[in-house]
Amino acid sequence: MKNIVVLVSGGGTNLQALIDAEKRGGIPGGKITCVISSKSDAYALERAKQNGINTRVLVRRDFADVHAYSKAMLDALNEEKADLVVYAGFMTILDETVCKAYPNKMINVHPALIPSFCGKGFYGLHVHEAALEKGVKVTGATVHFVTEVCDGGPIILQDTVPVLNGDTPEILQKRVMENVEWKLLPKAAALFCQDKIKVVDGRAIVEE
Ligand code: GAR
């Protein structure tokens, strides 16, 4: 059984999707063993507690710099014996020591079709604001491996939703979450836990 450690910062709806999937047997070979939050008041922590999942809080401002914070995160992941680390709305930057210690073992859900609307500054609602500003007609979400390049790691899964006249960032965010993120993130975790994702020449190959 692979230990899944989920990193969160906010509401935790993607964490909830992972918990629900695990409960219905949708993540064979994996178990969510710990949730680590960068915010002490994140509702995601409540969701973990309600489901009997061990929690930890690592707040960035409690550490001198990004390196000290990353070291604490790495120590926590090692203590938890993480096999898979899932960024589920985790909004705090870690240095490259963390992803290098867990190569192709950390996945992130990003609320756009990478390589569009990604990288520094593109997170949460800002991503949907940018998509509406550009006037794209489809958007979606991407699950990818985490590397030292922000939102630049091998793409595992993507899916789309239409952008409709009158959409606000909030409406679009909801459509992307409900139709794509909450499905793809548990699916990617399940594929990983069944050893169905290989990375060859920097690209992820998924055995469906
Ligand atoms: C999700 O839309 C996720 O894709 C996004 O933040 C939201 C978190 O919601 N992540 C990023 O923008 C990362 N770059 P949640 O806390 O309800 O899962």
Mutation pick for ligand 1 pocket among 37, 86, 109, 125 (CB with most ligand atoms within 8 Å): 109
124 lines ligand 1 (CB under 6 A): yes
User: What is the average pLDDT across 151-172?
Assistant: 98
Mutation pick for ligand 1 pocket among 7, 9, 14, 38 (CB with most ligand atoms within 8 Å): 14
* Bond from prior residue into 186 cis (ω within 30 degrees of 0): no
110 flagged as catalytic = yes
Closest CA to 110 of 58, 55, 149: 149
Q: How many CA atoms lie within 13 A of 36 on its CB side?
A: 25
> Mean pLDDT, the chain, as a whole number?
97
How distant is the alpha carbon of residue 174 from its chain centre? Answer: 16
User: What is the average pLDDT across 127-134?
Assistant: 98
Residue-level pLDDT at 178:
98
Closest CA to 153 of 102, 204, 195, 116: 204
70 lines ligand 1 (CB under 6 A): no
Give the DSSP letter string of 90-132: --S---HHHHHHSTT-EEEEESS-TTSS-STT--THHHHHHHH
Mutation pick for ligand 1 pocket among 123, 157, 172, 174 (CB with most ligand atoms within 8 Å): 123
Catalytic: which of 110, 126, 128, 144? 110
129, burial (CB in 10 Å: exposed 0-12, middle 13-18, buried 19+) = middle
pLDDT band with cut points at 50, 70 and 90 for residue 114: very high
140 lines ligand 1 (CB under 6 A): no
Q: For residue 145, give the 3-state DSSP assignment.
A: strand
> Pairing relation of β-strands 197-200 and 203-206?
antiparallel
14 lines ligand 1 (CB under 6 A): yes
Atom of ligand 1 nearest to the CA of 108: 13
Residue-level pLDDT at 100:
97
How distant is the alpha carbon of residue 97 from its chain centre? Answer: 18
Closest CA to 93 of 146, 56, 144: 146
Residue-level pLDDT at 206:
98
What spacing in Å lies between the alpha carbon of 127 and ligand 1's midpoint? Answer: 10
Residue-level pLDDT at 67:
98
Strands of the chain, DSSP E = 2-8, 30-37, 54-57, 84-87, 106-110, 138-145, 155-162, 197-200, 203-206
pLDDT cut 70: percent of the chain above it: 100
109 lines ligand 1 (CB under 6 A): yes
* pLDDT score of 169 more than 80: yes
* pLDDT score of 90 more than 80: yes
Tens digits of per-residue pLDDT, 45-73?
999 999 999 999 999 999 999 999 999 99
pTM score: 0.97
Residue-level pLDDT at 208:
74
Please state, in angstroms and rounded to a whole number, the distance separating the CA atoms of residues 199 and 64.
35
